[in-house]
Homo-oligomer: A and B are copies of this chain.
Amino acid sequence: MIRFECDYAEGAHPKVLELMNKTNMEQTAGYGMDEYCQKAERMIKDICNYENLDVHFLMGGTQANKTVIASILKPYQGVVCVDTGHINVHETGAVEATGHKVLAVPGHDGKMSASQIREIYRNHVGDENHEHIVQPGMVYISNPTECGTIYKKKELSEIYEACKNYGLPLFIDGARLGYGLASSENDITMEDMARMCDVFYIGGTKQGALFGEAVVIMNDALKKNFRYMMKQEGAMLAKGRLLGIQFAALLENNLYFELSKKADRLAMEIKEAFLDKGYELFVESDTNQQFPILPHRIMAALGVDYAFCFWEKVDEGHSAVRFCTSWATKEEDVKQLIEDIPEK
């Protein structure tokens, strides 16, 4: 069985483990107050070419999302999100558990548009009894999205403009950020990321770390006491250095982006193969997640040797499925898959 069903099936990139092994018996301060976290923070500032930002290392995506969102919203505020957004559908109500509504708007291939932000804000303000309605308090998008699509610089710029107009902090979930930025279609840089939102995170779990997400806060108003929020959410790792170590290893010599680029290249090969053999795509993605539409009998046939995800039923005879590549995907596995995809 060759596995393409997710991007977190293996452990960590060898460089990550190497540094973890090497530093194992060092004694450091706990809770992220160590030199490795400082080093990784320094590297992130450099990559972003942005001094005045705070970095906090959390353990996973749901944790990062709920901690950031709960730190920003007032009790009567909600977070604007597309309907397919991870916080809306795949976190067991983690945001609601902190007391806040997720204000879902229809996504276009997983993406939000600036006009939707304008609309939800104006509808709210324009409502006579707006105190009876949850107030939009911030905007959450992911880049890449759950559907593998990415925001173009112009789109992101318009979104951030709308957010600033209405005083809504913009938070970007970057669980797969590397795969987005490394895409051939991408025109956004890390420098842009730090200038086009208020807070975002650099995903580690799906990008070559054992676990970990680096939350990066630019907006001064959102920085204060974030560590209290982390502790309360159970999101402050005792041996916090493990997170600093992993990000330091991944960011060294551009490894993070090299790994992402390779994963994207292999994903493109898979996409091309499906297209060549006559299949359609459920959504046009240029990152590490690919969504071909398969007849059910071919799903079954391919499923014997390959693991991939069921995504959504398209019609009686067809479903969209997801193939993921990752930092760990082997060239030969992709080659084998391509050979094994039958003509439609």
Contacts and interface: CB of A to CB of B under 8 A. Distances in A.
Interface in A1-47: 3, 6, 8-12, 14, 17, 20-21, 23-31
A135 B236 CA distance: 17
Interface in A199-243: 205-206, 210-211, 225, 227-239, 242
A334 to B, nearest CB: 14
B232 A233 contact: no
Contacts of A99: 93, 96-99
A297 interface: no
Most buried by B among A90, A94, A97: A97
Interface string A117-135: 0000000000011011111
A135 B75 contact: no
Given A30-B8, A328-B25, A92 B237 contact: no
Contacts of A261: none
Nearest to A25: B10
A60 interface: yes
B231 A211 contact: no
- Interface extent on A, as a size class? 35 or more
A210 B91 contact: no
Contacts of A135: 92, 225, 228
Nearest to A241: B11
B231 A131 contact: yes
Given A75-B71, A78-B93, A6 B20 contact: no
B133 A89 contact: yes
A225 B92 CA distance: 12
A176 interface: no
A59 interface: yes
Contacts of A102: 101
A310 B129 CA distance: 12
B11 A23 contact: yes
A76 B229 contact: yes
B100 A234 contact: no
Interface stretch (A62-70, A190-198, A286-294, A314-322): A62-70
A14 to B, nearest CB: 8
B90 A133 contact: yes
A182 to B, nearest CB: 21
Contacts of A8: 30, 238-239
A164 interface: no
* 7 smallest beta-carbon distances between A and B, as pairs: A63-B234, A11-B24, A76-B228, A9-B27, A92-B232, A92-B231, A93-B134
Given A60-B234, A91-B132, A234-B235, 9 more contacts: A11-B23, A60-B237, A74-B225, A75-B232, A76-B231, A78-B93, A91-B234, A97-B232, A211-B237
9 contacts: A8-B30, A60-B237, A76-B232, A89-B133, A131-B228, A135-B225, A205-B238, A211-B238, A211-B242
Interface of A: 3, 6, 8-12, 14, 17, 20-21, 23-31, 59-64, 66-67, 70-71, 74-76, 78, 89-94, 96-102, 128-129, 131-135, 205-206, 210-211, 225, 227-239, 242, 310, 328
